[in-house]
Structure 1
């Protein structure tokens, strides 16, 4: 018997000033899964997250979150969701511990001290508990924001561009924490622009200017794109990207160090396109990357963004 989806929304639509910023989006996420939410700026990612957690009311569509009707049970849904916003939203003039104590009071949690102490230990914040939040680096602010978002033990965690401006080590540590939460059964929906972060997710959903364009595991999304790729190796291979990208049948040609990654929808056409360089560069078949698919979908989607900055 299949578990009830943590998120099951259909036809979600939102308009601002007469412009549709989310257009009939369907999304289903099973419990304990990490779903990456991808898309260029202005695609409605933040708006969709806000509708799922009950902060915005859809103009059309609906569904269930944790089995609760999105239209009639918004208050109950909110209490079971943790939401970490893109911008740090805690109090800079309070310490780490004081911020968590405040959040615990807002949620009217019992055993507040024990809960705060546990959160400090779990996210490695105990040694800095008395440090002012405003004095923290980006990575430590991120840890504090995550601790605050999960303090009330939500069943779903929504993360809106959570690692923007954070160094690689802090990002890795953050994702280790996210996977630990998912192992414990928490469902995570995270919007990101980082392809390496998307690859850490169990599955991804790609939205472009309000429309869902791709959905599934990484391998499923890459396979469904229909893209083919060649990898060019040899002296100066990376220097031919501009010329090769201008050839018929080539959608993208990008240097990766000293190699050249060439991508397009037809493998035979790609091979014909690179023939003039075959004497200097050795080309072999390769796998398209998630970044290739991302750029491919961006090129094919009409940019109708004016107001939305999600």
Structure 2
């Protein structure tokens, strides 16, 4: 449903996209990952036809995304969602349905269907400005679905919403996938990324990795050590100073050190801890998706 080849986009001297290739079949949840400035939103805007590429080719359902045929098959949820706060839930859906040219009889039926699908039926008369963050995202999804698109683009749709609302939103995406919709969703959350069928990791406009979540996870270095102890900043400094460690970072699990030779890493880290007068448990660990993404970023910086 989506084919992207050599996509390039510049904003003045900044190359926002440097030759991106993507392939998204029908019935696929495709995740875009990357830090701020990686090119996720620019990619989605090019797919939606909002931005004109400076190079490469984009096809949505076999058509140029700016063509009327492609627009009728495309739904787009922006960040923040483009809703009208002084309109009710139903009035927002009516507005977008009319924009897509739905006939009154068809629109009435579609409103009923999307309200039922998103669970917003009991709130149809509530102003959009009076909705919670999670409900606003559901309303944005309902507006994007009112014309029954085959392709759905979502720009960080769950940013800023509570964990329960995030879970409910992704349940809706799973149901859309089962219907054969091709969805491209950008997300900063690792747990959401793992729910996608395929991932693309962008960094400074370049595609560093693409594949199923497990395939991307396996791109982590063979050496993964977790240090547990305190203080974390001092432990990370010791690990990062070891020659065999590519990168060390701290999170809720402790300090993670990544490299190619786990035994050499362990020896160097334990010796460094001794010299610094620090005590910590150093143990091998199974790589998670975040380890692979951090390692890819470090490699990208050196490229």
> TM-score higher than 0.5 here?
yes
Is 1:122 the counterpart of 2:121? The answer is no
Is 1:252 the counterpart of 2:245? The answer is no
Rounded to whole Å, the distance in 2 between the matches of 1:236 and 1:43 is 33
What's 2:96 paired with?
Answer: 103
Q: Gaps (5+ residues) in structure 2?
A: none
With over 3 angstroms needed to count, the CA separation of the structure-2 counterparts of 1:127 and 1:75, relative to structure 1, is same
Partner secondary structure for residue 293 of structure 2? helix
Aligned length: 294
Rounded to whole Å, the distance in 2 between the matches of 1:287 and 1:75 is 48
What's 1:75 paired with?
Answer: 68
Rounded to whole Å, the distance in 2 between the matches of 1:301 and 1:280 is 33
Is 1:28 the counterpart of 2:27? The answer is no
Partner secondary structure for residue 296 of structure 1? helix
Contact preservation (8 Å) 2:219, 2:292: no
Contact preservation (8 Å) 2:33, 2:188: yes
Q: State the TM-score, normalized to the length of structure 1.
A: 0.87
What's 2:282 paired with?
Answer: 283
With over 3 angstroms needed to count, the CA separation of the structure-2 counterparts of 1:45 and 1:236, relative to structure 1, is closer
What's 1:294 paired with?
Answer: 293
Contact preservation (8 Å) 2:220, 2:287: no
What's 1:261 paired with?
Answer: 256
Deviation >4 Å, runs of 4+: 235-239, 277-282
User: Aligned-pair distance for 1:122?
Assistant: 1.0
Greater alpha carbon shift after TM alignment, 248-257 vs 273-282: 273-282
Q: 1:245-289 CA distances to partner (integer Å, 9 max, x unpaired)? A: 3322221142435x5433223323322223335995443322222
What's 2:81 paired with?
Answer: 88
Rounded to whole Å, the distance in 1 between the matches of 2:59 and 2:87 is 37
User: Aligned-pair distance for 1:207?
Assistant: 1.1
Rounded to whole Å, the distance in 2 between the matches of 1:169 and 1:129 is 21
With over 3 angstroms needed to count, the CA separation of the structure-2 counterparts of 1:63 and 1:95, relative to structure 1, is closer
What's 1:181 paired with?
Answer: 176
What's 1:141 paired with?
Answer: 136
Q: What RMSD in Å do the two structures reach over aligned CA positions?
A: 2.3
User: Aligned-pair distance for 1:51?
Assistant: 1.4
Q: State the TM-score, normalized to the length of structure 2.
A: 0.89
User: Aligned-pair distance for 1:150?
Assistant: 1.0
Rounded to whole Å, the distance in 2 between the matches of 1:114 and 1:300 is 52
Greater alpha carbon shift after TM alignment, 200-209 vs 216-225: 216-225
With over 3 angstroms needed to count, the CA separation of the structure-2 counterparts of 1:55 and 1:270, relative to structure 1, is same
What's 1:308 paired with?
Answer: none
What's 2:225 paired with?
Answer: 230
Rounded to whole Å, the distance in 2 between the matches of 1:104 and 1:256 is 45
Q: Gaps (5+ residues) in structure 1?
A: 1-5, 304-310
Contact preservation (8 Å) 1:263, 1:288: no
Q: 1:104-151 CA distances to partner (integer Å, 9 max, x unpaired)? A: 111121321121111111111011111000111111101100111111
Rounded to whole Å, the distance in 1 between the matches of 2:51 and 2:89 is 29
Contact preservation (8 Å) 1:228, 1:287: no
